[in-house]
């Protein structure tokens, strides 16, 4: 199962240039940070593409009715891990050739930011799951990387944002629950193995965000990730049905299956964030 990412040249156009300082009377911003989800990436017949139908776009539309002049700045990087967010190397599009964290810190210091969202850590472990099983040593290495890097990310973001700018993060749905429906009869076993890895990831994220006082949007719950009851009228559990309905995991080859949410899935993520954002 392959995961495809968009061209970095498109990210460059979206990120734009960060000015040296905010102009007097400049509008407030919503700053979206993280991986491909923060850029609204979705599957298309020609490969993954950036869209204006991601959760950041949904949140901007919702909160722009409450915060006059609100603008959205999406600095997310498709393929970003907690390590590359600090050190760079995946999306080399930030000012001065730095990392996404460098770009975010600079933006926070030079703009009026109403609130920040963050999704990061999924790519640290996503490559550990495939249609043949879960590489547990790979999962553990990814979790170790998150445990080492995420505190530094949160510390720098809070220092740059100041004590009053809301920073809200998220946990993850498990796209590989879709393996339940794979042919051959081994699908349910693979899906449950994936769910174990997703649970470990979300427990770690929950504990880390709680330690730093960062509210966490419960995306896993929004996707009913732990609901293994069989859905009436269907032959799969609730969590599997939701993933099949709200992601591109049923998209055809050569560019599918695709782990990214569709428009309905992104709307569910936005709803989970909106319940935690208090600008």
pLDDT digit string, tens, across residues 231-272: 998 889 999 999 999 999 999 999 999 999 999 999 999 999
Cis peptide before 232 (omega within 30 of 0): no
Locate tokens 């080492």: which residue?
148
Class of the CATH-defined domain 8-274: alpha beta
CA 159 and chain centroid, separation = 22
Residue boundaries of the structural domains of the chain: 8-274
Angle at CA of residue 124, ends 144 and 78, nearest 5°: 150
Q: Are 123 and 35 in contact (CB under 8 A)?
A: yes
Angle at CA of residue 117, ends 39 and 41, nearest 5°: 15
Q: For residue 18, what pLDDT band results from cuts at 50, 70 and 90?
A: very low
Q: What is the pLDDT of residues 168-203, one digit of tens each?
A: 999 999 999 999 988 888 999 999 999 999 999 999
Q: What is the pLDDT of residues 88-142, one digit of tens each?
A: 999 989 987 799 999 999 999 999 999 999 999 999 999 999 888 999 999 999 9
Per DSSP, 17 falls in state -
Question: pLDDT at residue 33 above 70?
Answer: yes
If you average pLDDT over residues 28-49, what whole number do you get?
Answer: 97
Q: What is the pTM of this model?
A: 0.90
């Amino acid at each position: 199962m392959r995961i495809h990412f968009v061209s970095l040249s498109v990210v460059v156009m979206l990120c734009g240039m960060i000015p040296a300082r905010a102009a007097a009377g400049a509008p407030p911003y919503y700053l979206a940070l993280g991986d491909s989800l923060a850029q609204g990436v979705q599957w298309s017949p020609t490969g993954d593409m950036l869209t204006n139908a991601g959760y950041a776009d949904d949140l901007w539309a919702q909160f722009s009715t409450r915060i006059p002049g609100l603008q959205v700045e999406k600095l997310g990087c498709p393929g970003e891990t907690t390590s590359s967010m600090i050190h760079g190397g995946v999306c080399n599009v930030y000012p001065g050739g730095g990392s996404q964290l460098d770009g975010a810190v600079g933006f926070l210091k030079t703009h009026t930011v109403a609130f920040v969202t963050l999704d990061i850590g999924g790519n640290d472990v996503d490559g550990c799951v495939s249609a043949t099983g879960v590489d547990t040593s790979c999962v553990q290495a990814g979790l170790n990387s998150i445990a080492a890097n995420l505190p530094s990310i949160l510390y720098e973001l809070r220092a740059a944002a100041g004590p009053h700018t809301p920073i809200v993060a998220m946990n993850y749905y498990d796209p590989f629950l879709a393996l339940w429906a794979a042919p051959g009869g081994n699908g349910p076993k693979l899906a449950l193995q994936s769910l174990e890895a997703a649970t470990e990831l979300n427990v770690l994220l929950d504990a880390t965000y709680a330690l730093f006082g960062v509210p966490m949007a419960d995306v896993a719950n929004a996707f009913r990730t732990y609901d293994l009851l069989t859905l009436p009228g269907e032959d799969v559990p609730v969590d599997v049905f939701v993933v099949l309905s709200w992601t591109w995991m049923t998209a055809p080859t050569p560019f599918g299956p695709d782990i990214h949410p569709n428009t309905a899935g992104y709307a569910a993520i936005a709803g989970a964030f909106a319940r935690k954002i208090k600008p």
